[in-house]
Each structure stands twice: as C-alpha cells, then as structure tokens.
C-alpha cells in the first residue's frame, strides 16, 4: 500500500511546467525536448519504486528525491549532455596530433578559406572554363599529385579503405591477391584488411608466417589465377625480434618477371621525409613510386594534413580502369573535400611553407622549448585554489592516426591533481563543457599536453579549466 501512496506523491507534469526553472530550460532547449527528458525521468522514478523489493515504508522513503527543483536540476544536466551530442569543436590536450576520435588533421587556413569560397558560391567543380563544356572534377588534384610524387596518374575517393576496396573490385575480382600474413592488419573501427579484400571479390592468398616472409613464398603462390601482389604498411603496430620481410625492390622485381602489378597500402602516407625532426625514416610516396609500385594508396587526413580522403596514385593504365569503374561514382569526393585537398597540396610545392602552414606538420616539427613556453603561459592563467595542485611537467606526445606507433616526442604540459576530489569528475566536466577540452588521466593526474594546443587556444583553455575547477571545489 505504501508504494501506491509514494507513486501518488510524484508531481504532475503541469507542476513542473509551472516552475520558473522549467521555463528557462524550455527557452534554451525547446518544450518538446524538455517534456521528453522529463517523462523519461519520471518513468525512471516510477520504475525504481515499483521494482523495489518488498513494501517501502512511508517514513523510510526520501521524499526529497521527488522535489521539483531537484528533478529539474537533474533534467538540466541531461539536457546539457544531450545538446553536446554531435560534432562540435574541441581543444585537443591529449598530445596525440592525428587523433582519430577528434577528427584527425586540422586543416590549414588556406584550405579552410577555399572550402568557404566554393561552399557559399557556385563553383567550377565540373566545368572546363576554356571550352565551356563539362569538365573533370579532379583535374587539378591529379596534376599536383603527379608533380609531387612522380606518379603517372592519381584518383581521389572518400577514404583509404574505399581506395583499397575500389582497386581490388575494379582490377582483381575473382583473381588471387597474394599478401603476407604479417600484413593482414586491422585498422581503426575494426575494419580488417582481409575482410575488405574478400568483400571486393578478390581471392585472398596468404603467404609466409606472422613474423617472417620471403620472396620464395610469393613465388610459390603464383598461378594462372594470380592477379597481383599486395603490401600493407604496418602503420599502427610493429613486429620486432625474429622477423624477416621482403624489400619493396625485391617484390617489384619478382612481380615484373611474372607480369604482375604490385599494390601497396601505405596507410598514412608521407610526401616529404620527416626524419630530421626526430622521427624514424619512413618511405615517402615518391620513393615508393620510384621503387616501382604500380598502385599506391594512402590517407588524406593523416600525415598529409588535409581532409578525409583516400588517395590512389600509380600507373595510368591501372588508374584509368579504376576511375572508369561504376563504383567510382559512389566513392568520389565532393567539392568541399576537393577544395581543401587542392589547397593543402598547393602548399607542398614549398615544403618550408607547408611545415609552417599545415597544422599537422607544424605540430610534428614544433620545438620542445616552444611547447614548454605554452605550458608556462597556461600555468600562469590558471587560478590558484586550495586543494588543487598544478605543475609543469615533461610529457611524451605522439603522432597518432596509425603513424609512427612506437615513436614519441619530447613535450610539455600541466599535471593537475585534485587531492580528495575525483580527478575523473574534473576531466568529465571539461569534456562536456561548452568548449570541450579533451585531456588524459595518468597516475591519478589530469595531463594537459600542450603539443596539440595552439597558442590562440590558451585563453579559452585556461577559462575552461578555471570554470571546471570552480565547480569541483
């Protein structure tokens, strides 16, 4: 009987609508959203009462949980969280430069300006200005890739997985594609190279073992059904120790003797060598083309520093077949992607300029002392609060995005300790704030790595931290 009385004590919807606090939430989020969340909350309260074991004694029930103001405060938090769902800007204080969850590469201003230009106006996307007839949308991008990589041709699709899928569908359907077992990788989002290959209609032919593969393994796999050899760059992992792999030059030599093309998924893709900035030596796209790779794929939004795209470069006879395949229309990129990619690539004609203007390259090449200076500036902007401990610390930043998985940079940041307060609460408040701040927790401390924070973001970051601290303490 007591449950029924308690259920009858739950305020009616109209009682909530009459509260001044409800009016503010309705004005901010809409009446429809307010009522949806309110009914969910009331149903949750009813279920908890009904499903509780045994009878609830009236004098044992905490009636404050049915207080209109308390419930509305809970609704305010839920509405705030729901309004944060979707894409919004964030400050990356993780120290991971190409952070997949945070949108990978940040575009250069030149690319952003070009996107705005072609988005708010009509554009010459598929118009040949000289003839006045229909033109080819990727003509400029194709030319730049040919200039920068030495490839005979280039094709752009919406991401690198699509690039691999299109190549195999267009060229290798019902043919065997020979791949080393050590290169059958899984990339972000649980996409596996073997599954991509099999769904393309190509027949997967594994050779070697996980850690060792030889030229003879590829040779022994060749038959009248063989369509190509494929290499997949292990960009997001490393196998070390008792290993052996086949050099690209060796694989190309054997493939040519058997009149087979060599396909390589280079993953992140580098246009210029970055070893002088403390990173391991990685093959550039141009070096792979010069080594004789027939068809090469890589991403546009990783080390290239551009928009999401899958880039295919290589020999014209193969790329013409790829480009004329019906699937190409389904995978092609739009005007905004092309505009951003064009302007990003234009910067590569002068690598010194590219390093200064493409944010991904600028962060990779930024000197540790500059990062330390930003960390000190941020420290000076944060208000001192009793119980809060903040210190400038040396950190390790990473490239991310599957590039240089075992390499780190010397970096600097702030380590924040909240004493008896829950550090996750502080990090959560920053993450869900109006200007989302993404940090990492390490040894019960919040680490704000300044490698991935731009100078123009310091005031906003400091304000967000100060606000979150005031709510926690």
> Residues near 283 by Cβ (< 8 Å), separated by ≥ 6?
248, 266, 270, 291
| pLDDT of res. 460 | 96
| pLDDT for 281 | 81
Phi-psi bin for 448: left (phi > 0), alpha (psi -120 to 50), beta?
A: beta
| pLDDT at residue 409, as a whole number | 85
Which residue do the tokens 């996980």 mark? 210
Q: How far is the CA of 344 from the CAs of 104, 109, 383, 440, in angstroms? A: 15, 9, 39, 30
pLDDT of residue 182: 82
In which residue ranges of the chain is CATH 3.90.1150.180 found? 90-101+363-472
Kindly state the average pLDDT of the residues 457-465: 96
- Of 119 and 183, the one with more pLDDT: 119
Place 276 in a pLDDT band, splitting at 50, 70 and 90.
Answer: confident
How far is residue 207's CA from residue 251's CA, in Å, rounded to a whole number?
Answer: 13
- Reading the block at residue 47, the tokens are 């279920």
Question: For the chain, what is the mean pLDDT?
Answer: 90
pLDDT in tens, 133-162: 998 888 899 999 999 999 999 999 999 989
Nearest one of 349, 208, 330, 355 to 274, comparing CA atoms: 355
Higher confidence at residue 85 or residue 161?
161
Cα end-to-end distance, the chain, whole Å = 43
Per mean pLDDT, which range of 62-76, 370-384, 388-402 is the poorest? 62-76
Is 60 exceeded by the pLDDT of residue 190?
no
Q: How confident is the model at residue 393, as a pLDDT?
A: 97
Q: Chain centroid to CA 418: how far?
A: 30
User: Which of 145, 151, 214, 206 lies closest to 181 in space, CA to CA?
Assistant: 206
Residue 184: pLDDT band by 50, 70, 90 thresholds? confident
Give CA–CA dist 311/141, Å, rounded: 10
- In this predicted structure, the answer to whether residue 465 has a pLDDT above a threshold of 60 is yes
Using the 8-state DSSP alphabet, how is residue 59 labeled?
G
Please tell me which residue, 239 or 296, carries the higher pLDDT value: 296
- Kindly tell me if the per-residue pLDDT of 101 is higher than 70: yes
Sequence-distant (≥ 6) Cβ neighbours of residue 81 within 8 angstroms: 432
Q: Residue 47 pLDDT more than 90?
A: no
Q: What is the CA radius of gyration of the chain?
A: 28
pTM confidence score: 0.85
Is the pLDDT at 282 greater than 90, yes or no? no
Residue 403 has a pLDDT of 75
Over range 352-359, report the average pLDDT. 95
Sign of the CA dihedral running 110, 115, 121, 122 = positive
CATH architecture of 90-101+363-472: Alpha-Beta Complex (3.90)
Mean pLDDT of 222-248: 81
Banded pLDDT at 195 (limits 50, 70, 90):
confident
pLDDT band at 8 (very low <50, low <70, confident <90, very high): confident
Pairing of strands 389-400, 409-417: antiparallel
Q: Which of 49-63, 311-325, 326-340 has the lowest mean pLDDT?
A: 49-63
Least confident of 111-120, 255-264, 274-283: 274-283
Higher per-residue pLDDT: 441 or 200: 441
How sure is the predictor about 415, in pLDDT bands with cuts at 50, 70 and 90?
very high
Domain with CATH 3.40.640.10 in the chain: 132-357
More confident residue, 290 or 402: 290
Provide the token pair at 150. 């030495």
- Please check the confidence at residue 237 and state whether its pLDDT lies above 70: no
Closest CA to 431 of 84, 153, 36, 9: 84
Q: How much is the pLDDT for 187?
A: 62
pLDDT bin (cut points 50, 70, 90) of residue 57 is: low
Rounded to 5 degrees, what are φ and ψ at 154? -150, 150
Coil vs helix vs strand at 119: helix
Percent of the chain clearing pLDDT 90 (strictly above): 63
Q: Is the pLDDT of residue 121 over 70?
A: yes
In 94-234, which ranges are E strands? Answer: 96-98, 153-157, 176-180, 186-187, 191-192, 203-207, 226-232
pLDDT at residue 188, rounded to an integer: 56
Beta bridge partners of 231: 264
Give me the CATH topology for the region 132-357.
3.40.640
């Amino acid at each position: 009987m007591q449950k029924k009385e308690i259920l009858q004590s739950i305020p009616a919807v109209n009682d909530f609508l009459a509260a001044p606090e409800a009016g503010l939430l309705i004005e901010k989020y809409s009446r429809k959203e307010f009522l949806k969340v309110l009914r969910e909350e009331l149903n949750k309260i009813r279920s908890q009462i009904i499903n509780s074991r045994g009878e609830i004694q009236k004098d044992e029930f905490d009636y404050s949980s049915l207080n209109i103001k308390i419930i509305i405060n809970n609704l305010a938090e839920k509405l705030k969280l729901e309004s944060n769902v979707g894409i919004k800007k964030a400050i990356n204080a993780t120290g991971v430069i190409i952070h997949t969850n945070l949108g990978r590469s940040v575009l250069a201003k030149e690319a952003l300006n070009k996107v705005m230009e072609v988005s708010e106006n009509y554009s010459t996307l598929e118009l040949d200005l000289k003839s006045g007839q229909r033109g080819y949308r990727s003509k400029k991008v194709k030319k730049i890739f040919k200039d920068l990589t030495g490839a005979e041709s280039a094709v752009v699709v919406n991401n690198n997985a699509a690039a691999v899928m299109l190549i195999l569908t267009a060229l290798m359907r019902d043919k065997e594609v020979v791949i080393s077992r050590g290169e059958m990788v899984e990339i972000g989002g649980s996409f596996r190279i073997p599954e991509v290959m099999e769904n393309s209609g190509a027949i997967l032919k594994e050779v070697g073992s996980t850690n060792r593969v030889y030229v003879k393994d590829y040779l022994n796999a060749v038959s009248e059904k063989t369509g190509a050899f494929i290499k997949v760059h292990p960009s997001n992992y490393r196998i070390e120790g008792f290993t052996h792999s086949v050099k690209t030059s060796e694989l190309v030599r054997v493939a040519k003797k058997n009149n087979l093309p060599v396909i390589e998924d280079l993953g992140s893709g580098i246009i210029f060598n970055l070893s002088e900035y403390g990173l391991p030596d990685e093959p550039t796209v141009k070096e792979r083309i010069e080594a004789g790779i027939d068809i090469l794929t890589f991403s546009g939004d990783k080390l290239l520093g551009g928009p999401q795209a899958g880039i295919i470069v290589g020999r014209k006879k193969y790329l013409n077949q790829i480009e004329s395949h019906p699937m190409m229309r389904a995978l092609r990129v739009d005007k905004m992607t092309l505009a951003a990619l064009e302007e990003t690539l234009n910067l590569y004609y002068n690598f010194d300029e590219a390093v200064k203007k493409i944010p991904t390259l600028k962060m990779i090449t930024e000197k540790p002392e500059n990062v330390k200076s930003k960390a000190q500036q941020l420290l000076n902007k944060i208000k001192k609060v009793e119980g809060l401990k903040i210190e400038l610390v040396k950190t390790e930043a990473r490239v991310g995005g599957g590039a240089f998985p075992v390499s780190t940079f010397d970096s600097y940041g702030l380590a924040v300790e909240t004493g008896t307060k829950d550090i996750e609460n502080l990090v959560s408040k920053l993450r869900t704030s109006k200007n989302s701040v993404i940090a990492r927790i390490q040894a019960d401390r919040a680490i704000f790595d300044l490698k991935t924070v731009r100078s123009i973001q310091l005031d906003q970051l400091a304000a967000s931290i100060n606000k979150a601290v005031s709510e926690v303490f």
